[in-house]
Amino acid sequence: MIRDNFEMFAKTLYGFEDTLADELTTLGATDVRKGTRIVSFCGNKALLYKANFMCRTALRILKPIADFKVKDEDDIYRRIKALDWEQYLTVDKTFVIDSVVYSDIFKHSKYIAFRTKDAIADRFSEKFGKRPSVNVNNPDLYINVHISHDVCTVSLDSSGESLHRRGYRTAAGLAPLNEVLAAGMILKTGWRGNSHFIDPMCGSGTLLIEAALIARNIPPGIFRREFAFERWNDFDRDLFENIYNDDSKECDFKYKCYGSDISPKAIETARENVANAGLNKYIELSVKSIADYQEPPRPGFMVTNPPYGERVKVDDAIQLYNQLGERLKHVFTGYDAWILSNSKDYFNALGLHHKQRIPMLNGEIECEFRHYDIYEGKKKDKL
């Protein structure tokens, strides 16, 4: 915990490893390496704070403190008990274990967590006659145990609650979009605030809020009440406050984000979330169906996640996508449009040829994020 530079791991959603690697590199990370849903990198304490506070596509930032090969659960117990936990815990503090297992040797992640807890508790009991308690809701220390085959990595979780929980979304509609997914989608399009942004099926407003934060370059961690690293023994409050209060990189946004939904309740929810984020000046909301669009703002850029019949039921999803495709062709000319959905039938119902498609997961639902260039006239006229 004392070294100037150390290794860290940033977890992310499937498909956003490149995006997160770019974010970390921009923040000054070195030795950046991409895995599956994870990016390893090196940096100092300031970078650990910045990664939590500024990365839009990170779910959590882990600081490994040990890794070793293991044969069985008793081996895990012995190796974890031997670690110098007094660096990180005292008997009057609390902790929680998160275990992730990908192994043919070890089958039950909860049992690994249980043995890790016993190892730490027994070490303190033998040394001090007392032991720190487990607190699953609000611990002083989050510990992550990751087992891949026969290699066990023990890390301190510097984030605590997942970083996708920004803090602005106190109201949620049906099937709200994960904030990291929303931000990653926008970052992949290349949009950075250089036009109006529109989501005509905005639900609780997550895409709009993440777009406005990107356009203004406001860190997504600004709304968080706390990060786990703030309870670490070596927490540098002055260093973090300097990072937290530095608004020198915030940008002006001369356009607006426009959102609409056919549901008045969804718009009411979106308004509450936009207000919580302090973005009323940059986001305009209305109750409207896609069929009602006549004159969208220009220059414009669309990113939307229409209902697709999994968690949200649609009376006639095909008709909805027909309407979206018709409006795109006849009203949204000149736009770049990006649409997330899970069905080729729905994409076919748009009646448009996509320019690009990117596989994504929305929760456990396999989806594609497709790009449509809505040009005027025939394609050959644009070439």
pLDDT(1) > 80: no
User: Is 176 in contact with 307 (CB distance < 8 Å)?
Assistant: no
pLDDT(379) > 80: no
Average pLDDT value for the chain: 94
* pLDDT band with cut points at 50, 70 and 90 for residue 24: very high
pLDDT(314) > 70: no
pLDDT(53) > 70: yes
CA distance 336 to 364: 27
What pLDDT score does 200 carry? 98
User: Is 203 in contact with 37 (CB distance < 8 Å)?
Assistant: no
Q: Residue 237 is which amino acid?
A: R
Task: Of 243, 169, 250, 268, give the one whose Cα is nearest residue 210.
Answer: 169
CA distance 58 to 160: 12
- List pLDDT tens digits, range 192-214: 999 999 999 999 999 999 999 99
pLDDT(139) > 70: yes
Which residues lie below 8 Å from residue 244, measured CB to CB, with a gap of 6+? 53, 222
- List pLDDT tens digits, range 156-189: 999 999 999 999 998 776 668 999 999 999 999 9
How many other β-carbons are positioned within 10 Å of the β-carbon of residue 165?
A: 16
CA distance 38 to 18: 10
- List pLDDT tens digits, range 277-304: 999 999 999 999 999 999 999 999 999 9
Q: Cα 161 vs. chain centroid, distance in angstroms?
A: 12
The pTM of the full predicted model, rounded to 2 decimals, is 0.93
Task: Of 361, 362, 292, give the one whose Cα is nearest residue 324.
Answer: 292
What pLDDT score does 107 carry? 79
